[in-house]
């Protein structure tokens, strides 16, 4: 029997954004796996869809439920997967069950739907050429968070983050520390809902804003791309090479390290090593 797993995008706020195809798939599914059965039940009632079997599939249960749900698909069932809002699998459950389904050779389909990161980016005024980095939720604390913040601050394209209202001030403080007070940012709140808002300004101004306006609702933070970095001069690269060579690093490794650290072609750095005094 031919079953399938279908990831279904659902509205991020405004129920009018649900597609006809999403309604059809949810109505025809044998089971709907969802983060919150009550919330999904309300969506199905809004659509006039008779509720099929609803199974909880959240960050705490996805790993243990994935095998069971894929087994049902192997038996011929249509298993629909939804998150509370947006596209399952993107900062929401869905990725694990897809991995299990693919490994079991079960067909996986996707019904497109709203994606908060894209909605925020195109309305932020920071979209640039359309390329962007989607980070989702940052690690809560520790070295992993520090590493991610440093990496994000250096990207040459906008970065999109998700954040809870009670943590947005701390995240803005951390972004100031790695990106500077003057980096532009957009704070998008309650997207597609009645009280939707987008605030735009610098990181320093953003901190003042959230200090005076109580944060409410989930936030999407769009951080502007890092400004272009001037290309290093040959003399600077030679100085870095000399320091590494003096420490006993091999010529090959020294060239590799400098090229990677400064973001320049390896051949350029290798060419600087072809000096009589470095032979």
Would you state the structure tokens that stand for residue 188, as one six-digit string?
């998008």
Residue 19: C-alpha distances to residues 23, 42, 96 (Å) = 6, 16, 25
Give pLDDT tens digits for 90-105: 999 999 999 999 999 9
* Residue 1 pLDDT class (50, 70, 90 cuts): low
The owner of tokens 């350029």 is 268
Residue 278: C-alpha distances to residues 92, 237, 244, 264, 268 (Å) = 54, 14, 12, 20, 15
Residue 160 CB neighbours (<10 A): 24
Give ∠ CA 62-65-67 in degrees, rounded to 5: 115
- The model's pTM is 0.80
pLDDT of residue 204: 97
The owner of tokens 């209202």 is 165
pLDDT of residue 176: 96
pLDDT of residue 278: 47
Give pLDDT tens digits for 139-192: 999 999 999 999 999 999 999 999 999 999 999 999 999 999 999 999 999 999
Would you state the structure tokens that stand for residue 236, as one six-digit string?
């600077």
Give pLDDT tens digits for 108-121: 999 999 999 999 99
């Amino acid at each position: 029997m031919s079953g399938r797993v279908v990831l279904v995008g659902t509205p991020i706020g405004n129920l009018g954004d649900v597609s006809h195809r999403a309604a059809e798939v949810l109505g025809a599914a044998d089971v709907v796996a969802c983060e919150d059965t009550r919330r999904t039940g309300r969506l199905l009632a809004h659509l006039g869809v008779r509720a099929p079997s609803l199974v909880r599939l959240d960050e705490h249960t996805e790993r243990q439920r994935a095998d069971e749900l894929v087994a049902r698909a192997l038996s011929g069932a249509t298993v629909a997967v939804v998150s509370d809002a947006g596209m399952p699998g993107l900062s929401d459950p869905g990725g694990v069950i897809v991995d299990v389904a693919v490994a079991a050779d079960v067909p996986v389909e996707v019904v497109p739907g709203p994606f908060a990161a894209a909605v925020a980016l195109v309305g932020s005024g920071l979209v640039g050429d359309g390329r962007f980095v989607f980070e989702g939720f940052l690690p809560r604390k520790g070295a992993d968070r520090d590493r991610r913040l440093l990496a994000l601050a250096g990207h040459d394209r906008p970065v999109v983050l998700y954040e809870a209202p009670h943590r947005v001030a701390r995240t803005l403080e951390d972004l100031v520390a790695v990106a500077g007070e003057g980096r532009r940012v957009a704070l998008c709140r309650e997207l597609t809902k009645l009280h939707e808002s987008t605030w735009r300004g610098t990181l320093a101004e953003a901190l003042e804003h959230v200090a005076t306006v109580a944060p409410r609702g989930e936030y999407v933070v769009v951080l502007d791309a890092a400004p272009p970095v001037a290309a290093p001069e040959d003399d600077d690269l030679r100085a870095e090479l000399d320091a590494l060579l003096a420490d006993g690093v091999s010529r090959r490794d020294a060239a590799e390290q400098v090229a990677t650290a400064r973001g320049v072609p390896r051949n350029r750095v290798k060419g600087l090593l072809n000096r009589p005094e470095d032979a």
